[in-house]
Structure formats: C-alpha cells, structure tokens
Amino acid sequence: MTATGIIFSNIHDSNLFELTHRRSVASVPFGCRYRLIDFALSNMVNSNIGDIKIITHYNYHSLMDHIGTGKDWDLARRSGGVKFLTPFITAYANNVNELYTTRLEALKSVNYSISCLTSDYVVLTDCNVICNINFGDMINDHISHNADITVAIKKMHVTPEMQGSASIISSDENGRMTDYQAHPSDFDGEADVNLNIMVINRRYLQEIVMDSIAHGYSSFSRDIFQRNLKHRNYRVYRYDGHFEGIDSFLDYFNTNMRLIKDKELYAELFETENRPIYTKVRNSAPTYYGNHSFVRNSLIADGCIIEGSVENSILFRGVKVGRDTVVMNSILFQDTFTGENVTLQYVVTDKNVVVRDGVSISGHLTMPVYIDKGKML
C-alpha cells in the first residue's frame, strides 16, 4: 500500500486577508515558531507518506522559502519528497482571479501531475487544519471498507456564523455517507462537520479530474459528493482528537490564545508520542531576559530580547521588547521591534514591525488590531 499526499495551500486565502496579503494561508505563522502547513506536512510524514505535492496559487514565495528542500521534514529524498505544483497562466491572462478558487479546480489545474501519480491512495488536505491526526489509521479504515472516498469528520457545534466554512455530513450506522450539506445558512446545533481531509483511491481521483475537465465540474461538494452519493461508496472517518479550523482572522487569534490557556490542546498538538510537529529549524540563539523583564503565561521563540513585561502573549523569533514596555494578549511576528514605554494589548504585528518609544495600541478580545508587515508606528 502506497499513498501520496496533496496539500491545498491557497484555498482559504480570502478568509484571512490581513495575513495573506503577501503570503499564502499555508505559510501563515502559528504558535511562536510554526507555519500552518507544518501540521499537514508533519501529519503526512508521521504517517509514512513520503511523496507530497503542494498545490500553489500565488503569493507562495514565503512558502517555498519555509519548506526549501523539505529536509526539516525528512523529505529531501531521491524518490518522492515534497514538490510544488505551481499554476500556469500566460502573459495575456495575467489575473489571479482567472486561476482556481475550489479544490476541484485546483486539481484540474495540475491535471498532468495528477495523471502521473502511481500510488494506490491519495490523501487530500487543506492547510488551515490544526490537528495531530494519524493518516495511517484513516487509510486503513478506507481500505477495510473498500471505499471510493473517505472523509474525516468531527462532531461539533455549528452556528449560523460558521455558514461560510462548515459543511455538514450525515452518515448511517455503518459509516456510509448519506447526505452532504455544503455551508448551510440556517443550521444551529450539533453536527458532523467535514474537516476538509479525505482519502481517495488514486484511479478514482484521476477519473474525477478527467470527468470534471470534460463536463466543466468545479465543486467537490456539488459535482462529486451530491451527484454520486447514492451509487458510490463514500464513507466517513470520525476524528475524536482536538481540531481547530482557521477560517477568519479572529479564529486565528483565538486559536493562538488557546494554545496558551489550554494545556491539553498544546500537549495533544505538540507532545503526542511519535507524532511530533516539525518546522524549519533556524538554530537561533536562546532568548535573552533582562534584569527588569517579567514574563508570564506566554510562548516565546528563540532569538528574542525581553527587557519589559510580556503576559498571555505569543512572540516569534527575533522579537525585541524594550524596557518598561508591556505586551499583553498579543501576537508579535518575527523580528518585531518595540521601543521603551510601549503598551500593546490585543495586537497582532506582522514581520519587521517597529513600534517606537511611548506608543500605546489597544484592541479588544473580539477585534484585535492588526499591523501590516514592515510598518513603523
């Protein structure tokens, strides 16, 4: 049994516009030293999937810089490894809006690469999915039930506010999919939600892509699941571990804050035995804590200089917190510099932001302030 992994790097860019103005969702920083794609990559590597394709759209420079040859995930291999499937567009149609917007369109855009796959099964996943899942168990369940497609689901509370992101799946007592509702607008209650992770037979995936090109199909939910539900063996795989979906800027902020407050969540994501989450290693110097520094309940990466106070916050590599500065309930991206007597509350600073002496910025739990990359305040 062999498997190939395919990761969609740009599907949710529009949901995180603040953070994806210059990068893809896949390369959005998370948890003081990681990027969102690290979870999908690590889950695949930990499940012995050594052939991984990343479908890109645009703004993928930082993603390529982060992954490089894939050596940090043990993917710098002669056979398999990690490969980028970049879009093709001519100079006469230089418009990102003419590229794909759905997963099926993304697969159609790399049809030649899909047709060259030789593995038995393909694992498809988005990169806004925060979980530590064993794909091996999911593939074995798929094989044992002779399924065409197996979709990962989790029971959770669905609210009308989630209508743009949550797809609800119904199944019978044997785990066979019986109904698929894509983004219902009026549902409020407990339901099995699609985690946007699926296992599919390689030959069937190639058949789907060719049929979609021939008939103009563009949506997995409408043109594949709902159209073929009754005469194909579509199954569900129930995932019971911690799961976080990053579908908005507020989701991103709250999920990072939960890493600090929820020790069980942090332990399952990053401390599960034999399933570590890998990321690019920079070998930075240890963080320096000055004589007047005060740090409580925070995640702080290597290479920082802390002279002030940091509480309930996440600091990425190379952040400088000046003397008498207070950082609370905030996320400071790589190489953020704060001067002296600065106050930051409910703030997210992108990379290379400079906050000069005496500046105070305050957001709210439900509306954190975002400061764009390279800004000086």
Distance in angstroms (rounded) separating the CA atoms of residues 114 and 97:
23
- Is 146 in contact with 232 (CB distance < 8 Å)? no
Altogether, the residues listed in the chain come to a count of 377
Which of 14-18, 198-202, 366-370 comes out lowest in average pLDDT? 14-18
The per-residue pLDDT for 87 is 72
User: pLDDT tens digit string along 275-298?
Assistant: 999 999 988 899 999 999 999 999
Distance in angstroms (rounded) separating the CA atoms of residues 154 and 345:
34
What number of helices (H) and strands (E) belong to the chain? 9, 28
The per-residue pLDDT for 91 is 47
pLDDT at 15 exceeding the cut of 90 = no
Query: Distances in Å between the alpha carbon of 121 and those of 25, 30, 177, 209, 327?
Result: 25, 30, 19, 15, 47
- Band (pLDDT 50/70/90 cuts) for residue 98 is low
Distance in angstroms (rounded) separating the CA atoms of residues 226 and 219:
10
**Position 119, amino acid:** S
The per-residue pLDDT for 82 is 94
Q: Which tokens hold the place of 295?
A: 């740090």
User: pLDDT tens digit string along 216-229?
Assistant: 888 888 899 989 98
- Is 355 in contact with 338 (CB distance < 8 Å)? yes
pLDDT at 66 exceeding the cut of 60 = yes
User: pLDDT tens digit string along 329-374?
Assistant: 999 999 999 999 999 999 999 999 999 999 999 999 999 999 999 9
Q: Terminus-to-terminus CA distance in the chain, angstroms?
A: 55
Q: Walk me through the domains of the chain, giving residue ranges and CATH numbers.
A: 3-270 (3.90.550.10), 288-371 (2.160.10.10)
Distance in angstroms (rounded) separating the CA atoms of residues 7 and 233:
23
Distance in angstroms (rounded) separating the CA atoms of residues 347 and 324:
18
SS3 69: coil
The per-residue pLDDT for 163 is 57
- The 3-state secondary structure of 302-339 reads CCCEECCEEECCEECCCCEECCCCEEECCEECCCCEEC
SS3 235: strand
pLDDT at 90 exceeding the cut of 50 = no
User: pLDDT tens digit string along 136-179?
Assistant: 999 999 999 999 999 999 998 877 666 567 788 999 999 999 99
Task: Summarize the confidence of residues 71-84 as an average pLDDT.
Answer: 92
Q: What is the mean pLDDT of the chain?
A: 90
